[in-house]
Structure 1
Amino acid sequence: MSEFPHHRARKRFGQNFLHDQGIIQRIVRSIYPREGDRLVEIGPGQGAITEFLLDGAGQLDVIELDRDLIPILKLRFGLNPNFRIHEGDALKFDFARLKTDDKPLRLVGNLPYNISTPLIFHLLEYQGLISDMHFMLQKEVVLRLAAQPGENNYGRLGIMAQYFCRVDYLFTVGPGCFNPPPKVDSAIVRLTPHKELPHPCKDVKMLSRVVREAFSMRRKTLRNTLKQLVSSDELEQLSIDPSIRPERVTLEEFVRIADFIHDRNT
């Protein structure tokens, strides 16, 4: 790597560059890029896994916000006609413009901790165009994505991700694999959008609102957190106990509540 210009990781972009070759290879094996894949890498950094993605798929779009990294990436990969770089913020990026044929997008990224949750919500809006997503995230975020009812990490992020996707916690990555080392463990997660939603909802915006309100005060009961939207009697009609806390309510039950409010309001 020494022939490429050195770039110091920037705190404001939440940058931690992956350097452990064993972990890099394990991530690439998990993604398993194949010839003809439409791969998109968010935040390639200095290109630690970029070259392996490009070798495997033969075509790669990357989205990078840090202007100082763009020349490094262009120097390394710019002569490859199948490599395209998009300078911009993934939070505002229109992923639909990368879909040029009937092949779904495969997304990959080492996501900065400070934007990972809003970025995942942004990407879920494009789930119909995506076959899978492999992300390196703070371990705590992956635990939240994969959490089941009754677990401490269960909340809005996991429920809405699991509404759209199957979530697989693949493996943990320690701080020593990065430069500079972050203060927390990271983990690799695979999000696979459902071909058919297991619990389709009549109004996803209403579902999102119900879940957000329910978890606005985690320690309170559904009766209290949802009182602006639905009464205790109505919850009982739906066979849902109004005295339980939101972390014990399943995705299917949240959909039932949202559908009830939708039907009552229309």
Structure 2
Amino acid sequence: MTSPRITLAAWNMHAKKKFGQNFLNDPSIPELIAERAKIGEEDLVVEIGPGLGALTVPLSKRASRVCAIEKDTQILPVLRSELLASGADNVEIINEDILNVSLTEMAEAHGGPIIVVGNLPYNISSQILVQMIRERRWVKKALFMFQKELAERITAPEGTRNFGRMAAMLGYCSKIRTLVRVDASKFFPRPKVDSEVIEVTFLTDPPHVAEDEDLLFAVIKAAFGKRRKNLRNALSNSELPLTPVEAEEVLVSADIAVNRRAESLTVEEFVRLSNALVAYLVVPSAS
């Protein structure tokens, strides 16, 4: 693995802040991540933001195939050169924004669930996670690197200050664990904070089933959208079709106190609340 500083300088390039580019400069880190991912020879790995290929190469040695989704057009010649030099001939590079890529279509073409890996930029990490949750039927597991602060929010337990929208959504349908902690010194350019790699394994059967998942996720979004307000006010000041009186009625029917705040709810209570809202929104037939 060539130093990213040297590689970028050789190509007269620099890391782009708008893409959140911080390149791993210690080969032991991507090797460790690839090893702990437990990738099999039959697996298709979709890598988000391969950059200079530091993680792509060790992934390619373990997987059947790697689809590397890279938005930065200018870095593609460098990535291709690095992969060629490493003999990684089972990597397909796709120059596209991951938010425009269907994981479902890729998995269907592969013939089974895929593994998703990536060092996610801060500004679109939530969008990528929401996309993956909605397509999770076709995702065996995901390994994502986040800045430490964001990783702690995503993995926050119920009832804690950091518990938020993404922790609630992932808590509904997956098991999460921290795989690797990566010091800021392992990147070029060096970020201000350390990072963590988390593993997300999706559940076939969630312990608490929402009658309408889209509505569940809308309730979670509404509740945390105004997290300083109590639930009655947060729900009624959101995209949900609820007045304060209606929000109170739904909360009461779900056996949840109206003055509680979003971070105090468990995943089971969010499911109970969304199921109560399903029943509340059902209009009896006139016939």
Q: TM-score range by the shorter chain?
A: over 0.9
Structure-1 separation of matches of 2:69 and 2:80: 12
CA deviations 1:147-175 (Å, max 9, x no partner) are 12221111111111222221112232121
Structure-2 separation of matches of 1:66 and 1:223: 44
- Quote the residue 2:239 is aligned against: none
Find the partner of 2:258 among 236, 242, 255.
242
How far has the Cα of 1:101 moved from its partner?
3.7
- Quote the residue 2:132 is aligned against: 123
Contact kept? 2:23, 2:52, Cα under 8 Å: yes
- Does residue 210 of structure 2 align to residue 201 of structure 1? yes
- Give the alignment of 1:27-46 within 5 angstroms: 27-46=33-52
- Amino acid of the structure 1 residue aligned with 2:30: I
**TM-score, length-scaled by structure 2:** 0.86
Residue 126 to residue 182, structure 1, CA distance change in 2 (3 Å): same
- Amino acid of the structure 2 residue aligned with 1:265: L
Contact kept? 1:145, 1:162, Cα under 8 Å: no
- Does residue 73 of structure 2 align to residue 64 of structure 1? no
Find the partner of 2:273 among 243, 257, 260.
257
Find the partner of 2:97 among 89, 99, 109.
89
Other structure's SS at 2:123 match: coil
Find the partner of 2:198 among 182, 189, 205.
189
How far has the Cα of 1:232 moved from its partner?
2.9
**Structure 1 stretches lacking a partner, 5+ long:** none
Contact kept? 2:23, 2:189, Cα under 8 Å: yes
Structure-1 separation of matches of 2:68 and 2:249: 51
In proportion to residue count, which structure has more helix? 2
**Structure 2 stretches lacking a partner, 5+ long:** 237-241, 283-287
